[in-house]
């Protein structure tokens, strides 16, 4: 009985294969190999790179090694340096200084709207850094984890740590002169380098948790010791809501950088990670990233 069922199934499968093969032969589809069937997409961004996050194999390139301004994608390295600190205490509290607030106002920068005098944990600052792209949170972290007797020295030391981390990754087309992407003309990277920075950062579980979070509400401690419930921080990475499997990573923008996006998504146990630099709009950088990820997943099979 069982043998008969198996035999019937085999006949059905054979018939199905024969019918399908005939249809394919009629259209000439069988002459195409899987590699030929996947067409490399065209993206609007000036530069792009994507790779298999597990193997490091390149999946897509467009001016992948051309140095460009990175905008707030710089903050990936800011977070990576913080998370690499020895004996890191994510629950350590940082008191928000007036200078952090003044800085974002002076530069008309994106911010987490941190309140002067509030005590905010390092963990909360990482969310404020990566979700709303808070330059005030970036300043607070650089001041906290840089070494020196003055704020200026601490910040310079922290930026030095960012550059050391880039060198340690073997990156030769990356340089930072800021903790948040608001540089002085000497803050740059490439799609390939930024992708490698993000891939390294994604090895940290705290980083992975933060960058895949769509919204986060921080509860800070005020000067008087009461609890302040902050307005929710919303992740600026629209792919988290519009592309299945997205797990990060970070947006960036600016007059010189235009619209940037470092992205990562996992499907069927495989992860594509990549970067687009200098796209033309928020919608376009997301469209570019989706094209690259679709292509990458198709190549990986």
β-strand 215-216 against 233-234: which pairing, if any?
A: antiparallel
Phi, psi (deg, nearest 5) at residue 277: -120, 140
Kindly report the number of other CB atoms within 10 A of residue 67's CB atom: 15
Region at 211 (left for phi over 0; alpha for psi -120 to 50; beta for the rest): alpha
Residues with a catalytic annotation lie at 72, 75, 133
265 touches 243 (CB < 8 A):
yes
- List the alpha helices (DSSP H) in 114-259: 122-130, 135-145, 151-168, 191-201, 205-211, 239-242
Q: Residue 291 is encoded by which pair of tokens?
A: 């094209």
* Cα gap 115→95, rounded to integer Å: 9
Which residues 6+ apart lie within 8 Å of 33 measured at CB? none
In the numeric block, which tokens belong to residue 153? 């020295």
Nearest of 139, 166, 164, 145 to residue 83 by alpha carbon: 145
**HSE-CB for 46 with a 13 A CA cutoff:** 15
Reading the block at residue 39, the tokens are 């067409």
Strands laid side by side in the 227-229 sheet? 93-95, 119-121, 219-221, 227-229
């Amino acid at each position: 009985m069982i043998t008969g069922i198996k035999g019937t199934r085999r006949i059905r499968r054979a018939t199905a294969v024969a019918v399908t093969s005939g249809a394919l032969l009629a259209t000439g589809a069988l002459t195409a190999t899987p590699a030929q069937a996947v067409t490399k997409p065209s993206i609007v961004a000036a530069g792009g790179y994507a790779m298999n996050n597990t193997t490091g194999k390149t999946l897509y390139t467009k001016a992948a090694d051309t140095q460009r301004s990175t905008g707030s994608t710089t903050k990936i390295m800011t977070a990576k340096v913080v998370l690499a600190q020895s004996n890191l205490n994510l629950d350590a509290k940082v008191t928000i200084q007036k200078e952090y607030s003044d800085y974002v106002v002076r530069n008309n920068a994106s911010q987490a709207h941190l309140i002067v005098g509030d005590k905010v944990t390092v963990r909360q600052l990482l969310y404020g850094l990566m979700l709303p792209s808070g330059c005030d949170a970036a300043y607070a972290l650089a001041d906290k984890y840089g070494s020196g007797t003055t704020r200026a020295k601490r910040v310079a030391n922290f930026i030095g740590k960012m550059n050391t981390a880039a060198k340690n990754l073997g990156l030769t087309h990356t340089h930072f002169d800021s903790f948040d992407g608001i540089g002085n003309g000497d803050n740059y990277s490439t799609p390939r380098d930024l992708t490698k920075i993000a891939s390294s950062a994604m090895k940290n579980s705290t980083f992975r948790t933060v960058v895949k979070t769509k919204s986060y509400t921080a509860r800070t401690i005020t000067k008087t010791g009461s609890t302040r419930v902050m307005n929710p921080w919303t992740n600026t990475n629209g792919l988290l809501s519009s592309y299945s499997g997205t797990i990060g990573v970070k947006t960036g923008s600016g007059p010189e950088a235009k619209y940037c996006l470092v992205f990562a998504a996992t499907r069927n146990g495989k992860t594509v990670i990549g970067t687009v630099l200098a796209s033309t709009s928020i919608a376009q950088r997301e469209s570019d990233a989706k094209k690259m990820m679709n292509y990458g997943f198709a190549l990986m099979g």
